[in-house]
Amino acid sequence: MRKSVSLFCFWSIYCCFAAGSHTPMGPEGQLEDEPHKSKEVQDATKPSVRFNLRTSKDPEHEGCYLSLGHNRVLEDCGFNMTAKTFFIIHGWTMSGILENWLHKLVSALQMREKDANVVVVDWLPLAHQLYTDAVNNTRVVGHNVARMLDWLQGEDDFSLGNVHLIGYSLGAHVAGYAGNFVKGTVGRITGLDPAGPMFEGADINKRLSPDDADFVDVLHTYTRSFGLSIGIQMPVGHIDIYPNGGDFQPGCGFNDVLGSIAYGTITEVVKCEHERAVHLFVDSLVNQDKPSFAFQCTDSNRFKKGICLSCRKNRCNSIGYNVKKMRNKRNTKMYLKTRAGMPFRVYHYQMKVHIFSYKNKGELQPTFYVTLYGTNADSQILPLEVVEQIELNATNTFLVYTEEDLGDLLKIKLTWERTSQSWYSLWKELRSYLSQPSNPSRELHIRRIRVKSGETQRKLTFCAEDPENTSISPGQELWFHKCREGWRMKNETSPTVELA
């Protein structure tokens, strides 16, 4: 029952999205003057937007409700005027209750910033609506948040620069409106997978944008370039980070699309990927000693090819709470890989491999794997993932990543899998075999592998163990060791040597 209801909701957002792309945001949204005059909610005792100051570590504890003009509450509840203030803003809700992630985020913030004021913006009555209506309500809620901040600004010692709004999904756009309406500039807004439907491509005044705060950082975890994108695809902050390309998140099971449909767990997959942004942020708060790094890149495919692992000129940054403030004129898009669960950090490596083919022309597409041996640990067998295709007689760049810290790399084993892992690569192999059936020596030559660690920025070159034997064929392996000092000898003048 629950599943069919949520599946229905899923499709109804889809329909809203399909039908509602031209729906206007609505004129001047009705703005509440006093919380008790709220027209949104019939129940006059309970305002439709409530500000719950979390005063205890116990999630069951009621906390304090802030209300405009009631200064006593601030004192009685121990609101610290000089400390940081976080506003956590939830999104559209199908259940009508505050979800579990919110309690996790609250306690992670309390743990990390002991003095901070953590305020939950509860707009459940306005969020538990048809998606289109909830979208329309974001403006009103943003206005409420702005008025709360303006009132706080009237207090001595309160500084808008210490305010950090954290909005999930629709809540990210609420934060955008709040930052836009408040008198002055809030310190920071973090958008956690800001909602996509009805916001993609919208004017900057109708969605989260870099001008809504001194610093706006965004995590995108559920974006799709076709079909329904629950999260917004376009960059909307100063820094927009797309973990795992911003689409398929490890551990969320979308790789098994047919399985998910068969078991009716589509909505769980959607929730898993959309909510991943929150858990990455929580991870950055609680696992400060295991920071994840993201790397600037123009698009996801270039990142997957391993081209973008540079830290020069601020091209890399930590993600989540620890992100370094960077305000470029243009949006900065950044990428990283993650693990499937907390701590999400992985170690990225760029591998540059020059692949020679003396005997074969054309079609040969090898399936290579590497195993990295380090001072701390050895990696698993890692695929050299091919984004487009392998160029022969050219340098190919690959991205590999490990969950463990290997320490300093010592050697690399390169293997060419004979047995293909997937139907697609089996087909490719068959095709290349058919195109050269008479050629018994499907042989390639690799002399060196150049490796750069994203995390340490160290570069190392590995040379074939036996310089006389650099050939590899399907089913074979080739070992590479750290090149001896001065490997780049003058007399190494084969025409195919390239120095990059």
| Cβ-contact 249, 272 below 8 angstroms | yes
Judged by beta carbon, residue 30 or residue 331, the one nearer ligand NAG is 30
Q: Is residue 184 involved in binding ligand NAG (CB under 6 A)?
A: no
Output the smallest distance, CB 337 to ligand NAG, in A. Answer: 31
Which residues within the stretch 10-39 sit at the binding site for ligand NAG (CB under 6 A)? 23, 26, 29-30
Out of 317, 357, 396, 402, the only residue in the binding site for ligand NAG (CB under 6 A) is 357
Measured CA angle at 351 (ends 383, 305), to 5 deg: 70
Judged by beta carbon, residue 129 or residue 453, the one nearer ligand NAG is 129
Structure tokens at 23: 């729906």
Q: Is residue 393 involved in binding ligand NAG (CB under 6 A)?
A: yes
> Considering only 152-160, 322-330, 339-347, 353-361, which stretch makes contact with ligand NAG by CB under 6 A?
353-361
Q: Is residue 157 involved in binding ligand NAG (CB under 6 A)?
A: no
169 as an active site residue: the answer is: yes
Q: Choose, from 48, 107, 193, 247, the residue flagged as catalytic.
A: 193
- Kindly tell me the burial class for residue 302, based on how many C-beta atoms sit within 10 Å of its own C-beta (0-12, 13-18, 19 or more): middle
Tell me the pairing of strands 448-453 and 394-402: unpaired
Output the smallest distance, CB 255 to ligand NAG, in A. Answer: 33
Is 312 part of any known ligand binding site? Answer: no
Structure tokens at 27: 């004129």
Which residues within the stretch 478-497 sit at the binding site for ligand NAG (CB under 6 A)? 489, 491, 496
Strand pairing partners for 242? 335
| Cβ-contact 102, 88 below 8 angstroms | yes
471 as an active site residue: the answer is: no
Q: Which residue is nearest to ligand NAG (CB)?
A: 26
Q: Is residue 115 involved in binding ligand NAG (CB under 6 A)?
A: yes
Is 330 part of any known ligand binding site? Answer: no
193 as an active site residue: the answer is: yes
Write out 328-390 in H/E/C secondary structure: CCCCEEEEECCCCCCCCCCEEEEEEEEEECCCCCCCCCCCEEEEEEECCCECCCEECCCCCCC
Judged by beta carbon, residue 375 or residue 496, the one nearer ligand NAG is 496
Out of 56, 71, 82, 389, the only residue in the binding site for ligand NAG (CB under 6 A) is 82
Structure tokens at 310: 């540079």
CA distance linking residue 13 with residue 301, whole number of Å: 29
| Cβ-contact 237, 210 below 8 angstroms | yes
User: Using CB under 6 A as the criterion, which residues of the chain lie in contact with ligand NAG when the complex forms?
Assistant: 23, 26, 29-30, 80, 82-83, 115, 136, 140, 357-358, 360-361, 392-393, 469, 471, 476, 489, 491, 496
List active site positions. 169, 193, 274
